[in-house]
Structure 1
């Protein structure tokens, strides 16, 4: 029986992981199977022990694999064997309790408020279809903190323009409702009018290309990168940077951490707490400037 294939199907259809996540698990697992085959001649889940997994970790580090990637790859193998234990194929998980390389905590990149105000308010976007669409892309990513995959699947009907709310289908098909800035309404109506008049209404997708096809990941990355380059020297300029910026600005303005967790669609608070480091740094700067003994 091909246990790798049944595991991937389990992730797809039972856990309902995103295609991107499933592909990452598959690639990690394929890499591990290839390593084991080279070491012992044939991959057999019942012959894998902690010594073999440890050898793989050493091999990855000797090939200069980043510590974060090593940790993720080992986690993939760990979850694979956890699945096999659940299916009663193996009796132990060889990937547990193994020493992993230390990961330096990276603070999320984010833009200053003044940079985004400058980009959105000072005439950088044209009034034609592409200009209005691209401005809507930037505004939605920053104004709601949604993920790239969530943006791609938005429909016109997901907007409650009276309540200033947007419905989003997140990870594992979990739906959440997010409030958005009132200023988005005018841009949403402007975009919809130009799109319907020049290209045609699409009930399945809000955002389309000039040929009426749904927008795609590379297009969104290109739109975000080319526009952020106009106002920031940040090395990384991606849709996720705008999500980081959304969360950081909310916390800097005093938003409750649990509320930000729900807005971002995080499964646990630990994923949201990474943004508090940036906020604490800002508070520390304020303290130093304001306190007589700062």
Structure 2
């Protein structure tokens, strides 16, 4: 967080120190600092003055929003405006700023289907985890991809929550909203779980060297296989999205998919019926080929 003493970027230093004390993540603090520096540069170039919180007006914020919209996608614009909003609220709380200027509205984003793995990516991931030969890791990938569990639900699973008979199922307890639901376990999930669990009859299902796996532990496991399979941006939620997309592509109706995922509102599940960015890109590419 080193900046020149004469730089207007220093106006953010007290906020960043306060923020860092509450949120220790170095990456998060670095991202905020990067966004702030951009705002400071723009402000100095536009107004000819060094940035101070008490000088920022609604007009400045609206103009900066327009500037960002010419260069960045909506999510980036909204993130930077949110960072500035936090800084101004902090300045107000500290008595540096008497009145918080009204922030411009967020940029609307076109809602697309969440990112799901393509069929080739799914096969690459399964191949990578099978080659490693770790039954625990196979079971994690299979349960997330074929049963659509949230990562928090996965790490809380107990052996008692799983039935591995012919019509197997996984009972998800304390899901979102503290709801309990039963999720069918297809044959491939039952097989790998049976092999992994062996004779165990109780306790948490997914274990590490020091006890039950944490959310962070599962994320690290997936990151390792994503690297091996050459898949970018793989998360537990990506596998949940993949499960939902696969079910809908097979003709499973929305109500059943919502029940499997634990959605009370069908509108949440309906997002999977929207085209993904990759599908839109493919459609544009086809149109371009037909015109040539």
TM range, normalised to the smaller chain? 0.5 to 0.7
Q: CA deviation at 1:76?
A: 4.4
Deviation string 1:56-112 (CA, Å, 9 cap, x unpaired) is 4455456x44332222332444466678889997544432337x4x64544434357
Q: Assess, with a 3 A threshold, how the Cα gap between structure 1 residues 27 and 273 changes in structure 2: closer, same or farther.
A: farther
Contact 2:258–2:266, Cα closer than 8 Å, also in 1 = no
Contact 2:149–2:240, Cα closer than 8 Å, also in 1 = yes
Question: Would you say 1:242 and 2:239 are equivalent positions?
Answer: yes
Question: Would you say 1:125 and 2:122 are equivalent positions?
Answer: no
Spell out the pairing of 1:46-61 with structure 2 (5 A cutoff).
46-57=54-65, 60=68
Q: CA deviation at 1:165?
A: 0.9
Q: CA deviation at 1:255?
A: 2.7
In structure 2, the residue matched to 1:166 is 172
Question: Would you say 1:146 and 2:149 are equivalent positions?
Answer: yes
Contact 1:168–1:176, Cα closer than 8 Å, also in 2 = yes
Cα distance between partner residues in 1 of 2:123 and 2:221: 23
Spell out the pairing of 1:124-273 with structure 2 (5 A cutoff).
125=130, 130-148=133-151, 150=152, 154-157=155-158, 160-162=161-163, 164-167=170-173, 175-182=178-185, 183=187, 184-193=189-198, 206-208=206-208, 214=213, 215-224=217-226, 226=228, 239-251=236-248, 252-256=251-255, 260=258, 263=261, 272-273=269-270
Larger Rg over CA atoms = 2
Q: Which runs of 5+ in 2 are unaligned?
A: 1-12, 164-168, 280-292
TM-score by length of 2: 0.56
Corresponding pairs, count: 245
Q: Assess, with a 3 A threshold, how the Cα gap between structure 1 residues 97 and 241 changes in structure 2: closer, same or farther.
A: closer
Q: Assess, with a 3 A threshold, how the Cα gap between structure 1 residues 58 and 158 changes in structure 2: closer, same or farther.
A: farther
Cα distance between partner residues in 2 of 1:222 and 1:156: 22
Cα distance between partner residues in 2 of 1:178 and 1:86: 44
Cα distance between partner residues in 2 of 1:154 and 1:73: 33
Q: Assess, with a 3 A threshold, how the Cα gap between structure 1 residues 68 and 156 changes in structure 2: closer, same or farther.
A: closer
Of 263, 268, 273, the residue aligned with 1:276 is 273
SS at match of 2:184: coil
Contact 2:197–2:205, Cα closer than 8 Å, also in 1 = no
Cα distance between partner residues in 1 of 2:246 and 2:80: 32
Cα distance between partner residues in 2 of 1:97 and 1:111: 33
Q: Assess, with a 3 A threshold, how the Cα gap between structure 1 residues 274 and 72 changes in structure 2: closer, same or farther.
A: farther
TM-score by length of 1: 0.56
Cα distance between partner residues in 1 of 2:123 and 2:36: 50
Q: Assess, with a 3 A threshold, how the Cα gap between structure 1 residues 66 and 143 changes in structure 2: closer, same or farther.
A: same
Contact 1:158–1:168, Cα closer than 8 Å, also in 2 = no
Contact 1:85–1:93, Cα closer than 8 Å, also in 2 = no
Q: CA deviation at 1:243?
A: 1.7
Deviation string 1:28-60 (CA, Å, 9 cap, x unpaired) is 54344434555353542x433223334544554
Of 26, 34, 37, the residue aligned with 1:34 is 37
